[in-house]
Amino acid sequence: MAVSNVTFYERVEEALHDRQLQTALDISTTRFTTGRQNALAALPEAEALRDHARRIRAHTIAHLDRYLAQFADSVERVGGQVHWAETAAEANQIVAELALSRNVKNVVKSKSMVSEELHLNQTLEANGMKVVETDLGEYIAQLAGEKPSHIIAPVIHKTRQDVADLFRRKLQATDADLADVPHMTALARRVLRSEFLQADMGISGANFAVAETGSICLVTNEGNGRLTTTTPRLHVALLGMERLVPTLEDLGVMLQILARSATGQKTSVYTNIITGPRRTTAGQPIEPDGPDELHIVIIDNGRSQILGSELAEILYCIRCGACLNACPVYQQIGGHAYNSVYQGPVGSVVTPGLYGLDPWHELPQASTLCGACREVCPVRINIPRMLLKLRSETAEAGLNPDWLKRGLRLYRQTVVRPGWYHLGGQLTSWLSRKIADNGWFKKLPGPLSGWTDHRDFLAPAKKSFSQRWREEREQ
Amino acid sequence: MSQRAAFLNRLRSRLPQAKLPEADPNHPSSFRGYTFAADIPPADLVDRFTQELNALAGQVYSAKTSQEVTKIIRQILNKHGAKQLISWGSDWLEPRQLVATLTAAGIEIVDSELPVIAADRKVKLTALDKIKVGLTGAHGALADTGAIALISGPGRGRLASLLPPVHIAILPQQKLYPSLPAFLAAHHEATTAGSNLVFIAGPSRTGDIEMTLTMGVHGPGELYVILTP
Ligand code: SF4
C-alpha cells in the first residue's frame, strides 16, 4: 500500500482545520451513533445476539481452513468457480486475466473495500478497460479522484455544492440537473444506468460468505449491488478470506445486527444472497437472467499474517463501521487522516496488521483507549487490547519519535524517585500558576502545544493529591 | 501443490499461533433467544408489516379477488402512462389467472430472457430499460422490517424487481413471517431453488450527498405490495 510523504500529524492538522469536514463529522457520527442505539434498544435480544454473533465469528476464524474448503466445494457444486490469491498482485492478475480472456471492455463495480486494498481499478485501467464505481458515494469519490472517507458514507466530507461543481465539470450537468439533491441523484442514476446496460463484467465485494451453501451476501441501500451482479454476463466477487459464516442460519444472526450497528436501520434495503451463476440444464439457461459466469476470488493479502498473531481477534470484524462513529478521535479527524482503506479503531489494528508497523505505527496512537469501540462493536472485539499491543511493539522496535523516547525516559526516571517526583509536582504547580488563565492552559509551549492547539487544557490543582492527603490526615 | 492446498496450508500453519478469545471448537449451534414470536402475534403480522413498509416509503394494498389485483395494477400503470410489464411467469403469480386477466385488459408482458451472447444481451437490456413497471410474486415477507423475500428461478427473473423504476409485488398474506430468522428456518430451499435470494425493504435509497435521503437511486423508486388472501 502506498505510503504518503505527508505525515499522519500533518493530515490530522489539515482535518482539524477543515470546517466542512468538522460539520459533516458532527452530523453523521451523531446520527449514526444515536441510530444504532435506538435500533438495538428496540431489539430485546440484542445483547444475547451480540454474544452469539461473537461466538459464531470466533469459532469460524478458529476453523477457517475447514470452512473455506467447505465454501469452495459448495460454490463449485452450484457451478461457480473459485480462485485463491495469496497476494494483491495475484488477485489482480486473476481478475485481469479473466477480463482479458473474455474480451471485457466495460466494468461496473459495487462497493468493495478489498478491491481498494488491491488497487484493482488501476490494474484493469492499465489493461485498457473502463472501470466505474456505482455506489453513489464511491462514484462521486471516483469522479473527484479521491478516496472514500468513511466505510458506510464515503463522501461525508463533501457538500452538495462540491458535488454540483463536480457534476458540472465531469458530467456537463445543467442547472436543472443540479437543482437539488434528488435531481443530482437522478442524473447520477441515468449516467450509471447506461454503464450497467453496457457492462461486460461486474465486480463486487461480499459482506459475508456461507460455507454450507456457497452463497455470498451483499447488502446495499441503493440497489447497485444487485445491478452489478445481474446485468453483466460475468460476475467476479472479491472475498476477504475471513468473511465466512458456517451456515445460512448464522448469516441470519449477522444480518440481525449488521444494519442496526452500521446505520441504525433495521435492515438495509437490499439483502442480496447469491448462490452460483444463473442455473442451466444441458448448457441452456433456465433462469431468465443473472450472470452466466460467477468467479469468486478468495483473498489473503496479509490476513494470514494477522491470523497467526495477537491481532487475530480483529478478523471477527463484520465491517459495520460502528467503532468509527463512536471513536472520539475519528469524530474529530475523519477518515482521510488515517490514509488507509480501513479507518478508525478497526483500521488502526487492521492496517498495521496487514502492512506492518513500520509505516503505520502512528495509527495505534490515534486512540484515547476510552473503550468506546469495544462497547459498540457488535461482536465485542477488544480493540483497545490490540492497540496497546501494537504500541508496545512500536516501542520495542524503537519506532517512537525521539522526543517521545526522551520524554518517557525522563518520566520513568522521575516517577521512581519520590523526591524527584515531589519536586516535579511542585515545579508544575508553580509553573501552572504562572501561565494558567483562570485555571486553564490556553497555549502550552513546544511539544506540549498539541494539547492546547484545539482546546484548553485544565491546569493542575494548586495542591497535589498527596499533599492534601497528608494535610487531611494531620487534622 | 494446487493454489487451494497452498492457501489452506498457510492458514493451518498460522492457526496454532492465533490468539482467538472465546473460540469454541464446536459450532455454537442455533440461537434460541429470539423474541419475535412473543412480539408479533399472527393476527398482528399484516398491521406490523404494513406499518414497517410504510415507514420505508413502500405502499401496501389489500385485494380480495384477481379483478381487484388487476385494477390496482392498472391504476399504477396509468399513473406512469405505461402499458407494458416485466413480469414473473404466470405460474409464480397468485391468483393464477392474473396474467390472463392482465393480457385481456390490454397489458403487454414483455419477454425478459437475457441472451447468453454478450452483445445480444446488451441490446436486450437496453430495450428492457424502457419498461416502467415490474411485477413479481414473493416467497415471504418479514413483519418486523417490512422486507419482502424473492427467490429467483425459472420464470422468476431478478430484473422485474430491479430494472424498472416501479416494482409491484403480490404477496399472499399467509406468507408473512415475524422476522428474517423465522423465514430462513421455514425456507430451506431459499438458496437452492435459484441463484438469487433477495430481501427488499422499501424503494432504493441513498443518503450519500449530505446525508439527504433520496429515493430511487439505482433500484426502483416506488414499491407497491399487494396483499392477497
Ligand atoms: S471492529 Fe466491530 S465495530 Fe468496528 S467495524 Fe468491525 S465489527 Fe464494526
Sequence spans of domains, chain B:
40-205+218-228
A11 lines ligand 1 (CB under 6 A): no
B33 CB contacts (<8 Å, ≥6 apart)?
A45, A48, A49, A52
Q: Which residues of A touch B125 (CB under 8 A)?
A: 196-197, 231
**Distance from A48 to chain B by nearest Cα, in Å?**
7
What is the grid cell recorded at B10?
A: 498457510
In B90-229, beta strands by DSSP E: 108-110, 133-136, 140-142, 147-151, 166-172, 176-177, 196-200, 205-206, 214-215, 222-228
CA torsion angle A140 A142 A144 A145 (round to 10): 160
CA B86/CA B96 separation, integer angstroms: 17
Q: A27 touching B, CB under 8 A?
A: yes
Homologous superfamily assigned to A43-301: NagB/RpiA/CoA transferase-like (3.40.50.10420)
Q: Which residues of B touch A63 (CB under 8 A)?
A: 25
What is the grid cell recorded at B146?
A: 417490512
Contact predicate B169/B224, CB 8 Å: yes
Average pLDDT value for residue range A319-335: 94
Give the chain B residue nearest A278 (alpha carbons).
B195
**pLDDT tens string A129-163:** 999 999 999 999 999 999 887 777 788 888 899 99
Interface of B with A in 115-154 (CB under 8 A): 116, 118, 121-122, 125-126, 129, 142, 144-145, 147, 152-154
A311 lines ligand 1 (CB under 6 A): no
Residue B196 DSSP label: E
Pocket test residue of A29, A377, A382 for ligand 1, highest count of atoms within 8 A of CB: A377
Rounded to two decimals, the ipTM of the complex is: 0.97
Contact predicate A320/A329, CB 8 Å: no
Contact predicate A237/A294, CB 8 Å: yes
Phi, psi of A204 (to 5 degrees): -130, 165
The CATH class for the domain spanning B40-205+218-228 reads: alpha beta
Using CB atoms within 10 Å of the CB of residue B208, give its burial: 0 to 12 exposed, 13 to 18 middle, 19+ buried.
buried
- Count Cβ neighbours within 10 Å for each residue of A132-160 and write b for 16 or more, e otherwise: bbbbbbbbbbbbbeebbbbbbbbbbbbee
Query: pTM of this prediction?
Result: 0.94
Give the chain B residue nearest A287 (alpha carbons).
B154
A381 lines ligand 1 (CB under 6 A): yes
Sequence spans of domains, chain A:
1-37+319-400, 43-301, 402-474
Q: What is the pLDDT of residue B38?
A: 56
Whether pLDDT at A1 is above 50: no
Nearest to A289 among B56, B158, B205 (CB): B158
Whether pLDDT at A460 is above 90: no
Q: Which residues of A touch B51 (CB under 8 A)?
A: none
- Quote helix, strand, coil % in chain B, to nearest 5: 35, 20, 45
Q: What is the pLDDT of residue A4?
A: 58
In angstroms, the Cα distances linking A409 to A406, A413, B54 are: 5, 6, 63
Mutate to test the interface with B, among A102, A267, A325, A381 (most CBs of B within 10 A): A267
**H-type helices in A241-359, by residue range?**
248-262, 303-307, 322-326, 328-333, 344-355
Contact predicate B14/A307, CB 8 Å: yes
**Distance from B79 to chain A by nearest Cα, in Å?**
19
By DSSP bridging, strand A234-240 and strand A201-204 are parallel
**pLDDT tens string A188-207:** 999 999 999 999 999 999 99
Around B198, how many Cα atoms within 13 Å sit in the side-chain half-sphere? 31
- Residue A176: strand, helix, or coil: helix
Q: What is the pLDDT of residue A403?
A: 83
**Distance from A333 to chain B by nearest Cα, in Å?**
18
Interchain proximity B15–A56, CB inside 8 Å? no
CA A383/CA A461 separation, integer angstroms: 33
**Distance from A65 to chain B by nearest Cα, in Å?**
5
Whether pLDDT at A330 is above 60: yes
Pocket test residue of A151, A243, A257, A317 for ligand 1, highest count of atoms within 8 A of CB: A317
Contact predicate A339/A320, CB 8 Å: no
CA angle A463, A467, A470 (to 5 degrees): 145
Average pLDDT value for residue range A32-48: 92
**pLDDT tens per residue across all 229 residues of chain B:** 799 999 999 999 999 999 999 999 999 989 988 887 557 888 899 999 999 999 999 999 999 988 899 999 999 999 999 999 999 999 999 888 899 989 998 999 999 999 999 999 999 999 999 999 999 999 999 999 999 999 999 999 999 999 999 999 999 999 999 999 999 999 999 999 999 999 999 999 998 898 889 999 999 999 999 999 9
Interchain proximity B217–A188, CB inside 8 Å? yes
**pLDDT tens string B216-228:** 999 999 999 999 9
By DSSP bridging, strand B140-142 and strand B147-151 are antiparallel
Average pLDDT value for residue range A388-415: 90
CA B222/CA B216 separation, integer angstroms: 7
Give the mean pLDDT of chain A. Answer: 93
By DSSP bridging, strand B176-177 and strand A201-204 are unpaired
What one-letter code names the amino acid at A80? G
